[in-house]
Amino acid sequence: MPDRRAIVIGAGITGILVARELLLEGWDVTVLEARHVGAGSSSRTAAGIRQQFSTPGTVRGMRYSVRSYQALAGELEGGESPIVQNGYLFLHADPTRWERARRIARMQQGAGLEEVEILEPDALHARFPWVARGEVVGGTYCPTDGFLRPHLIYNGGADRVRRLGGVVLQNTPVTGARATAGRLTGVQTPKGVLEADLFIDATNAWTRRLAPLLGAEPLEVRAKKRYLWFIAREGPMSAGTLSAMPLVITPRGTYCRPENPDTLLMGRKHEAAPEDGFTYEDQDQIEAAYSHQGGIDAVPFELWMGLAQILPDVGQFGGINATTSGYYAETPDHNPFLGFDRQRPNLIRLVGFSGHGAMMGPFTARVALALASAGHDLDTIKIDGDDIPLDAFRIGRATGAREQMVI
């Protein structure tokens, strides 16, 4: 149909899943990627996926994302599942924060996440004996949370997009745009002008540089550097115990999960200045203070020792042997912007995920499809019979009510 042509800008997890969703509904779709599929944050993510959030709409949306990733294996060549459901364990040491966590968990249960558990100390240590006694006052655990295998999603998803008839153009950055009466009609690229009826910005951390090229609204999205470290297993913890470990968030915010039976991934959000002018190469530039080669005075060693206070067996691991880095697209309230641009009425913005882009991918794709079908912003969308409010994600919203469960 001539009015069902879409261009998706960005071939990370969000862009690829949006393209798939539109193709399944009969749209003609072209995906544009400045480098190669997965070249941005999707290949540098800790890849956690959870339904434990303090925003009810996000809880409901993430329940859909989990179900979608469970089903996605059936569409990928090889049939390997992109989701590992080891669970998420939030640990708390402060009684006031623990009481707030219990209230949030009860809200989550009311939002349909019935399996989330509120674990008092005895129950916590019976379930997870590798957590140090006396260091925490409780934890919340959801067994259907876990982590993703991102390469299966963006690479396998891109193959699926092609099989559905979509076009994926790599090494094709957007360099400008054409518009008539305020509406975009095409984008300029090194391969020529590409025309469409609907345009979708799935560039996340790159959105501040794309917006002026499209004549779009500048959104409050700032790119910030984030690091991950990898610790070699040694000592008393077995490969089986490590492999079964949930993604653990300690009271100080350091988190970890199994990367494989012999490696633990560790990360922590830190104060970082926005880097709006970063390059693709900057993604892999590691500051000396954050390098695993920086010795006992470097940040990762300090985080490892702090982690060992809560998880003593991890303190006996063999050492940190690798560092990776990338960019996180942060908004003031840590919720993404999912909606039509207020300056370009046929441009949908799906950006500012604040570290949650990979996990939100299927939900974001369903929102994008609903917006594309309606042609305007929506207050709610219906997914599997559940009405999910979108007010927390609307462009132009007041950003005072922050998502509280951010790591």
Write out pLDDT tens, residues 186-206.
Answer: 999 999 999 999 999 999 999
Mean pLDDT over the full length of the chain: 97
CB-based contact 127:141 (threshold 8 Å)? yes
CB-based contact 81:382 (threshold 8 Å)? no
How confident is residue 335, by pLDDT bands cut at 50, 70 and 90? very high
CA angle 302, 306, 307 (to 5 degrees): 115
Residues 362 and 325 grouped into a single domain: no
Q: What sign does the dihedral 361-210-380-142 (CA atoms) show? A: positive
Residues 321 and 286 grouped into a single domain: yes
Write out pLDDT tens, residues 14-34.
Answer: 999 999 999 999 999 999 999
How confident is residue 106, by pLDDT bands cut at 50, 70 and 90? very high
Residues 250 and 318 grouped into a single domain: yes
Q: Which of 143, 177, 211 is the last residue of a domain?
A: 143
Domain around 386: 5-67+149-220+332-393
Q: Which of 330, 346, 373 is the last residue of a domain?
A: 330
> 110 pLDDT exceeds 80?
yes
> 390 pLDDT exceeds 60?
yes
What percentage of the chain has pLDDT greater than the value 90?
94
Q: What is the DSSP letter of 206?
A: G
Residues 270 and 287 grouped into a single domain: yes
Residues 232 and 318 grouped into a single domain: yes
How confident is residue 273, by pLDDT bands cut at 50, 70 and 90? very high
- Residue 344: phi and psi, rounded to 5, are -125, 95
Residues 188 and 101 grouped into a single domain: no
Residues 40 and 171 grouped into a single domain: yes
- Could you give the number of structural domains in the chain? 3
Q: Which of 330, 345, 377 is the last residue of a domain?
A: 330
Residues 209 and 353 grouped into a single domain: yes
CA distance 274 to 211: 17
Best CA proximity match to 270, nearest among 285, 291, 257, 253: 253
> 2 pLDDT exceeds 60?
no
**Got the DSSP string for 136-195?**
-SEEEEETT-EEE-HHHHHHHHHHHHHHTT-EEESS----EEEEETTEEEEEEETTEEEE
CA distance 231 to 28: 45
How confident is residue 72, by pLDDT bands cut at 50, 70 and 90? very high
Residues 196 and 248 grouped into a single domain: no
Q: What is the CATH classification number for the domain harbouring 379?
A: 3.50.50.60
Residues 241 and 200 grouped into a single domain: no
> 1 pLDDT exceeds 80?
no
Residues 47 and 169 grouped into a single domain: yes
Residues 246 and 114 grouped into a single domain: no
262: in domain: yes
Best CA proximity match to 289, nearest among 271, 315, 307: 271
Question: 87-96, 138-147, 267-276: lowest mean pLDDT where?
Answer: 267-276
CA angle 90, 91, 93 (to 5 degrees): 145
